[in-house]
Amino acid sequence: MPSTIGLYLFDDFQLLDASGPITSFEVAGRIARRPYRLVLLSAVGGPVRSSAGVVIETVAAGSAAEAGKLDTLMVMGGDGSRRAMRDGETLAYLRGAAGAVRRLCSVCSGALVLAGAGLLDGRRATTHWRRAPQLARMFPKVLVEPDRIHVRDGPVWTSAGITAGIDLALALIAEDLGEATARATAQEMVVYYRRPGGQSQFSALADLGGEAGPFASLLGWIRAHLGERLTVEVLAAQAAMSPRNFSRAFTREMGLSPARAVERLRLEVARERVENSTAPIEAIAAGLGFHDPERMRRAFLRAFGQPPQAMRRMARKG
């Protein structure tokens, strides 16, 4: 009997929040030859418009829940979550469904909808990094973990922004169909199976293969010493290699130079501190080895398209 997964939509939901998990479950079911049954739900059924303007046909949520068909319920995120988190019909449905499903999940700002229903009180949870301060401010009983890709607290799973819905789906697939199927699904979709680290725009350690490979321990050492002068010679000595052999081997294995890898690791930590602390930009730059704030500003522009000050202002708006 295939597992039935309900995806709860509302007007102005984020299309990728839904399409990413849908594709993940489709591919996993095909690989395992145990297809999931996917049901698109909304408060009253009928067409629901995403924030991109794409309209998706849904069935009324109450009918699926009352029939006891759902194994897992996932609430999508998006701009419409601001209304959905206050919509009495949506919140009543979620409260009723929570006790009937095996797993209750959210993608991105869908966590605020679950929180609006009181379903995250006393639980650890995450959401899109831009909305995490709002989640913590509006719902103080929620134990917000803003830098996680996804969080499981008992039967409740929450995930970070947009593409993190795929990470969440892969974790659910691993629980249902096994690690091998989840890994094969990720390979088929050409996505990372697991992204260690936080939910910055990219996790540098994950992108660089920070948990495996010949330079795994070196990458961890670099991250612990970002404030130091990390020349090729210093890194080569840490790896017990000559500078020339080290540089060639590292670039071949990682796909980028040692200097560029160090910069990416510095950027990952710098972004987290810029967005989530009140430390002066100058102090962050000095403490992470950029030394000159202007040098860090140029690196931010290359990587994120915005200077540190603009990213801090954006994060504080929540």
Smallest CA-to-CA distance from 50 within 72, 17, 24, 20 is with 17
Catalytic annotation present for 105: no
89 and 122 Cβ atoms separated by less than 8 Å: no
Residue 223 CB neighbours (<10 A)? 17
Residue 150 CA to residue 198 CA, distance in Å, equals: 10
Question: Hey, which residues does 49 pair with through a beta bridge?
Answer: 55
Per annotation, catalytic residue among 73, 108, 151, 261: 108
Residues with catalytic function: 108
